[in-house]
Amino acid sequence: MLDEYVTRWRLQVDGDPIVTPRARLLPVRLDGLPAMLKVATYPAEVIGNAVLAWWNSDGDDSRSGVARVLLADGAAIVMERAVAPRSLVVYYDEGRFDEAIAVIVATARSLHAPRATPPPQGLVPLERWFADLQAAAERGGAGFRASASAAASLLAEPGERTVLHGDLHHENILDFGPRGWRAIDPKAVEGDRYFDYVHHMFDPDDARVPGLEAILDQVALTARLAGLEPERLRRWLLAWAGLAAVWWLEHGESPEPGLKVAAMLATTFAPDQLA
């Protein structure tokens, strides 16, 4: 699968292949410059590649907010590869939350800016994603019910809809040196722009669940920097925590991190707000 594109595009292999459930990746060089070959193996990832190219489409690279797409053909793209040393993961580990969140907010703002051309076809609305959460709530569980209630109220008033990244956390924004911080790996999703500001506050991969005070501090800071309404952002985080728990359960992983965050956030709302 990778060899075909290496040959066609005259790429120089520059590392070992990376296999994920939805794609095959290979570090390469194109005309001597570091790049990454990505071949999507899942339909949504193919559309995600198209979204990445679309965010590059206006010709103003300084404002695109994403890695530059160098070559593209359906499921396969070659994009520039980040080799600069800074890392938002390290920022978080060092407690530099203000700096990290400022980068995430600036990146989201670039991604949500209007484009001159229509977005790719096939984007999935958030309503379809959150149908999984509603089904889990109907089967039972206080955490799922609280999250589903939050999601239902938000989706009933979908706010400012846009093409979303869908997974804009600190591992999906990389340092491209003089070109600044850029996002990679978008999902094929559209909906309320608030949704792109919740993923960095809770990592369902991490069993270490942050405390409620820390979460609320990040909500407040994110809302202030992005000009968002804190209560709506907190409600979106509650909805996302429940959906993450559903997905982890479906993949045979523990849903506990998501359910713990949902339970904590539910206590910040009056009972009638989550009815």
Name all domains of the chain by residue range, CATH numbers in brackets: 2-80 (3.30.200), 88-274 (3.90.1200.10)
The residues with which 18 forms a beta bridge, in sequence order, are 25
Predicted local confidence at residue 207, as pLDDT = 65
pLDDT tens string 146-159: 999 999 999 998 78
d(CA 212, CA 168): 21
* pTM of the model as a whole: 0.94
196 flagged as catalytic: no
7-48 pLDDT per residue, tens? 999 999 999 999 998 999 999 999 999 999 999 999 999 999
Which amino acid would we find at residue 139?
Answer: R
The three-point CA angle 58-195-219 to 5° equals 120
pLDDT score recorded for residue 208: 77
User: What's residue 58's pLDDT?
Assistant: 76
List, edge to edge, every strand of the sheet that includes 124-125: 124-125, 189-192, 161-164
Q: Which helix (H) or strand (E) holds 77?
A: strand 76-80
**CB contact at 8 A, 18 and 34:** no
Question: Residue 255 and residue 222: Cα distance in Å, rounded?
Answer: 25
Contact 42, 21 (CB under 8 A): yes
Low-confidence ranges of the chain (pLDDT < 50): none
* CB-based contact 201:219 (threshold 8 Å): yes
Give the residue ranges of DSSP H helices in 121-178.
Answer: 126-139, 142-156
- Number of Cβ atoms within 10 Å of the Cβ of 162: 18
Q: Give how far the C-alpha of residue 193 lies from the chain's centroid of Cα atoms, to the nearest Å.
A: 12
Residue from 14, 58, 132, 167 carrying the catalytic annotation: 167
